[in-house]
Structure 1
């Protein structure tokens, strides 16, 4: 159920019996010469809308700009600073709690958002406002991703390429797939991103001149459909599970006995 398409009386009927909501989040950032800057937020929005329609769960509008300063050297990349992102998402979640939502799934498709969404979730849980968790689509189906692609990449690689070929094929520059592979890093090991146990890079351009990793020519719309359907199914199962949990079981546990400051 997409929140923005409903009237307020319709939503009143829904929130009277349901307390779960989904917030899709992504980024607007470079994804190489073959994919649109919208890649991450398109994937998050399509998965969130599909799963919430199937599970009859509330879905908010998508947060399209995330924490992406590590792609700033490439034209068009947009980002917000991490503290501003956390404060915005937390404020949005507290807005949902005002309307009766006490459990939230952040449907995320951008790795740069992950740690910050986890921090927001901890804040909301610690003060008893809501139970909020981050869900990353490819983390839900790692075996399938590995089975489908011989040389995957964490950014602009074949898994994201295949997903966009499936959900928004008109936005894929099919004639640039060879350029994406040859101008980037097909094999992540070749990027040499660590030295003596230290992560020595800060920006994506430090590893790849065109901003992407993996073999994009291995992607197809058919593989994207497999990924999409498998990930959407995982998300539906997560929503069903979360909806069934007692609130007390989700919130922060009390301090073990003896309680601090108590007299024995």
Structure 2
């Protein structure tokens, strides 16, 4: 159920204590020469919508701008600073709790959001407002991602190209796939990203001139469908697991005596 499509009387009847909400979060940032800036939030929204339809969980509006200053050199990229992002997400999650939702899944599709969403979840758990957990789609199916694509990449590579190929194929610039590969960084071990155990870069452009990593030419519609269905199935199972928990299981444990 998409929350914003309903009237308040309908929601008053539908929202109840111990209900689950799915909050899709992504970014608006460069994804190489072949994918739209909307890539991350489109993925998050599509997965959250599929899981909400399957489970009956509430889906909220999508957070479309995230923590993306490391892509700022590429035109069009938008970002917010971490403290403001954390406060914003925490604030509206507390709003959800006010209406009876006590468990939340942050359906995330942007790596730059991860640590901040986990911190928000920790705060909400600590004061017993809600049990909110961060879920990153590709981390739920790492073996499949590795099996499907020979040269993966953390950003604008085959896995994200596959997801947009499935969700919104008209937004993929198929004539730029080879450019993304040839002018980006296919082999991560060929960069100086880590030297003697130290991370040496701050921005994506330090490692990839066009912002793409991996080989997106390795994508087919069949692989794209398989990837999306596997990730959405993992999210459905997470929602069902969360819905089955007693509230007492989710609250912080007492101090050890």
TM range (shorter): over 0.9
Residue in structure 2 matched with residue 149 of structure 1 by the alignment: 149
Post-superposition Cα deviations, 1:223-249, rounded to whole Å, max 9, x if no partner, equal 111111000000000000000101111
Alpha-carbon distance between aligned partners in 2 of 1:109 and 1:16, rounded to the nearest angstrom: 28
Residue in structure 1 matched with residue 240 of structure 2 by the alignment: 240
Residue in structure 2 matched with residue 128 of structure 1 by the alignment: 128
Range with greater deviation from structure 2 (133-142 or 9-18) = 9-18
| Deviation, structure 1 residue 17 | 5.9
Residue in structure 1 matched with residue 177 of structure 2 by the alignment: 177
Alignment of 1:93-242 (within 5 A): 93-242=93-242
- Secondary structure class of the residue paired with 1:102: strand
**Could you tell me whether the CA contact under 8 Å between 1:28 and 1:37 is conserved in 2?**
yes
Residue in structure 1 matched with residue 79 of structure 2 by the alignment: 79
Alpha-carbon distance between aligned partners in 2 of 1:125 and 1:163, rounded to the nearest angstrom: 32
Range with greater deviation from structure 2 (37-46 or 241-250) = 241-250
Alpha-carbon distance between aligned partners in 2 of 1:195 and 1:69, rounded to the nearest angstrom: 23
- Secondary structure class of the residue paired with 1:23: strand
Gaps of 5+ in 1: 258-264
| Deviation, structure 1 residue 112 | 0.1
Report the aligned-residue RMSD: 0.8
**Total equivalences in the alignment:** 257
Residue in structure 1 matched with residue 253 of structure 2 by the alignment: 253
Range with greater deviation from structure 2 (190-199 or 64-73) = 190-199
| Deviation, structure 1 residue 139 | 0.4
Alpha-carbon distance between aligned partners in 1 of 2:224 and 2:59, rounded to the nearest angstrom: 23
| Deviation, structure 1 residue 18 | 5.2
**Could you tell me whether the CA contact under 8 Å between 1:163 and 1:221 is conserved in 2?**
no
Post-superposition Cα deviations, 1:7-48, rounded to whole Å, max 9, x if no partner, equal 112211211365211100000000000000000000000000
| Deviation, structure 1 residue 84 | 0.3
Residue in structure 1 matched with residue 53 of structure 2 by the alignment: 53
Range with greater deviation from structure 2 (232-241 or 244-253) = 244-253
Name the larger-Rg structure: 1
Gaps of 5+ in 2: none
* 1:10 aligned onto 2:10: yes
**Could you tell me whether the CA contact under 8 Å between 1:191 and 1:208 is conserved in 2?**
no
Alignment of 1:65-76 (within 5 A): 65-76=65-76
**Could you tell me whether the CA contact under 8 Å between 1:67 and 1:112 is conserved in 2?**
yes
- Secondary structure class of the residue paired with 2:186: coil
| Deviation, structure 1 residue 142 | 0.5
